[in-house]
Amino acid sequence: MIPGAGAVPREPFKAQKKPPQSVRVVELAEAAKIPTPPAPRQESGLKLLLPGPLQKRSAWKWLCSTASDFALVALNWLLIGAMLVPLRAAFPRVRLFEYAAGAPVSLLGIAILHAALITLLSYTEDLYAPGIDLRAEVRILGKSILLATTVLGFAYGLQGFPWLTAALFSAAGWLHFGALCTWRWQVERQQRRGESGSRYPRNVLIVGANTVGRAMALHVAANPNAGRVLCGLLDNERPIGDGVVGRVSDLARLARTAFVDEVVLAAPRDRNLTLQVLREARRLRLDVEFVPELFGCKPSASEVDRVGDLPVICLHSEQLPTAALVLKRLVDVAASGLALLGLSPLLGTIAVLIKLDSPGPVFYSALRAGRKARPFRCCKFRTMVTNADDLKLHLRQQNQRSGPFFKIADDPRITRVGRFLRRYSLDELPQLWNVLKGDMSLVGPRPHPLDDFAKYDIEHLARLDVMPGITGLWQVTARRDPSFQRGMELDREYIRTWSLIRDMQILLKTVAAVVRGSGE
């Protein structure tokens, strides 16, 4: 499910999807007479100003790579500036050491300009393209640094600076080359050791259990740190088992239950089957990639990814509101960090009251179902007796909420201080640490315990497509509504209509609810 995406009528558990906005292989769609997607919504000013790489699905990886390169080049120049100060004192007559030794602002400008030139030229040479090997990276870095350094030295020479400063720029270029190559070598070394796997890998479903599909499955399974996790293979001809988890007709069900991110067509030979998968995957808002049979030839297109030795062509890529999501995460980090710092006296006071009120730990930590059902430890102030989880099994028959969600009025497990904390939602404050860590967001569907999650129906899984939150639309709209289905509908509505403004509205309503003491 794409946050902020509109809905179109379809089966219940797919009601939050909308037709995709882009298909790279237009000819295939036209030949199959696939209905043309509706005109995209008017783009926001933030997206119009956003660089193209930040609007792709690999935006975070591109941003991290360019930011690390930029930072290394800038730090190298600051190091050069620090070295020039003692050299100027030791050799006062050498004009080269006079340059920028006493002008940190000028040196910072050079650092930013040089870093921008190097990263820009590297991007044009596909340095940040997926699947590129270390040897190609070294070649591209050498070429980009040489061109950027030449342009920079020539430009400063035309401005009247001594041409001797070109030697300084050359020395800086060699320093940049060594630092950037060493950084990449270290990253590749960690990947080989399995130390730098993606925190949120993409779940992959392969259509076709032929030779190509098997080869790709083996590579994905053998390289878990490459950012992909194999969910299985679909095939209409081969028997179930040995990696084959279903037929093509099972795509919708498996995509939901396995939280699939992308579908890969492994060298398909049946045109109708290919079009069927493409239509269904587009309807489910899944990325679709295609492994062609190239008969030993190497493709030269820049839009080709690689999984091992196999070229993978992207047929369709979902358009995420990347800029808004990045801004949401920045707000989460800044707000949770400042809140933890500012509320530290209150947190300490609550901890003392809990210890004085009842025996047991201050915090209650339990596993919750996070994004894509990944479990994480959710922290709260303890508001119940220490054996509350054991007593829950005996109180199940008194549950006053429909569905898997458990809630009863006047819960006998709640302590005196716990009742006050729950009334004003103060027991949720430690979850700011979960937000800072990245397990949760300030606003989103509330995370449920694993025993409640185990009772989800298939349509309920849609709420796990996004990061869980401390508060959400359910909490500020129908907090006391006993209907579990009503809460699920509100969570799915939040995901469909998500925006930063909607988050701010929910936060303001949450503050008002906390002040009123409407918790239970």
Report the chain (520 residues): mean pLDDT per 10 consecutive residues: 56 39 37 43 58 67 83 86 69 54 62 88 81 83 91 77 70 89 84 62 89 87 80 90 90 89 86 88 87 63 62 70 86 93 92 90 90 91 82 67 65 85 89 93 91 84 89 82 80 89 91 75
Let me know if residue 20 belongs to a domain: no
Contact of 461 with 203, CB cutoff 8 Å:
no
pLDDT of residue 336: 93
pLDDT of residue 26: 37
**Nearby residues of 242 by Cβ (< 8 Å), 6 or more positions away:** none
**504 and 418 in one domain?**
yes
Let me know if residue 12 belongs to a domain: no
**429 and 292 in one domain?**
no
Query: Distance between CA 394 and CA 400 in Å, rounded?
Result: 14
Let me know if residue 25 belongs to a domain: no
**239 and 189 in one domain?**
no
Query: Distance between CA 164 and CA 511 in Å, rounded?
Result: 62
pLDDT of residue 357: 87
* Closest by CA position to 119, among listed 53, 69, 194: 69
Let me know if residue 13 belongs to a domain: no
State the helix-helix crossing angle for 165-193 and 59-90, rounded to 10 degrees: 140
Contact of 251 with 205, CB cutoff 8 Å:
yes
Tell which phi-psi region holds residue 43, choosing left (phi > 0), alpha (psi between -120 and 50) or beta: beta
What secondary structure does DSSP assign to 80-125, as a single string? HHHHHHHHHHH-TT-HHHHTTTT-HHHHHHHHHHHHHHHHHHHHHT
* Closest by CA position to 2, among listed 406, 284, 231, 345: 284
Distances in Å between the Cα of 261 and the Cα atoms of 187, 205, 229, 448 are 25, 8, 10, 22
Q: Which of 318, 350, 371 is the last residue of a domain?
A: 318
Beta strands 310-316 and 304-307 are: antiparallel
**Nearby residues of 248 by Cβ (< 8 Å), 6 or more positions away:** 207, 234, 235, 236, 273, 276, 277, 280
Q: Count CB-CB contacts under 10 A for residue 117.
A: 20
How many domains does the chain divide into? 3
pLDDT of residue 352: 93
Residue 457, SS3 per DSSP? coil
CATH number for the domain spanning 253: value is 3.40.50.720
Q: Which of 302, 318, 334 is the last residue of a domain?
A: 318
SS (H, E, C) 325-367: HHHHHHHHHHHHHHHHHHCHHHHHHHHHHHHHHCCCCCEEEEE
**443 and 384 in one domain?**
yes
Q: Report if pTM > 0.95.
A: no
**402 and 495 in one domain?**
yes
pLDDT of residue 348: 93
Contact of 341 with 433, CB cutoff 8 Å:
no
Beta strands 287-291 and 310-316 are: antiparallel
**447 and 388 in one domain?**
yes
**487 and 371 in one domain?**
yes
Query: Distance between CA 395 and CA 413 in Å, rounded?
Result: 10
Query: Distance between CA 70 and CA 67 in Å, rounded?
Result: 5
What are 399-417's pLDDT values in tens digits?
656 666 666 767 778 888 8
Query: Distance between CA 502 and CA 441 in Å, rounded?
Result: 14
Let me know if residue 75 belongs to a domain: yes
Let me know if residue 26 belongs to a domain: no
**161 and 79 in one domain?**
yes
Distances in Å between the Cα of 322 and the Cα atoms of 2, 7, 40, 359 are 11, 19, 16, 46
* Phi, psi angle pair for 360, to nearest 5°: 130, 175
Distances in Å between the Cα of 162 and the Cα atoms of 168, 297, 378 are 11, 51, 61
Beta strands 375-381 and 363-369 are: antiparallel
pLDDT of residue 469: 93
DSSP H/E element including 175? helix 165-193
Let me know if residue 106 belongs to a domain: yes
**105 and 88 in one domain?**
yes
Q: Which of 275, 294, 318 is the last residue of a domain?
A: 318
Contact of 241 with 251, CB cutoff 8 Å:
no
**310 and 350 in one domain?**
no
331, burial (CB in 10 Å: exposed 0-12, middle 13-18, buried 19+): middle
AA identity, residue 165: T
pLDDT of residue 127: 83
Query: Distance between CA 510 and CA 477 in Å, rounded?
Result: 10
Let me know if residue 121 belongs to a domain: yes
**331 and 283 in one domain?**
no
**134 and 94 in one domain?**
yes
Range of the domain at 423: 323-516
Strand partners, 207: 234, 265
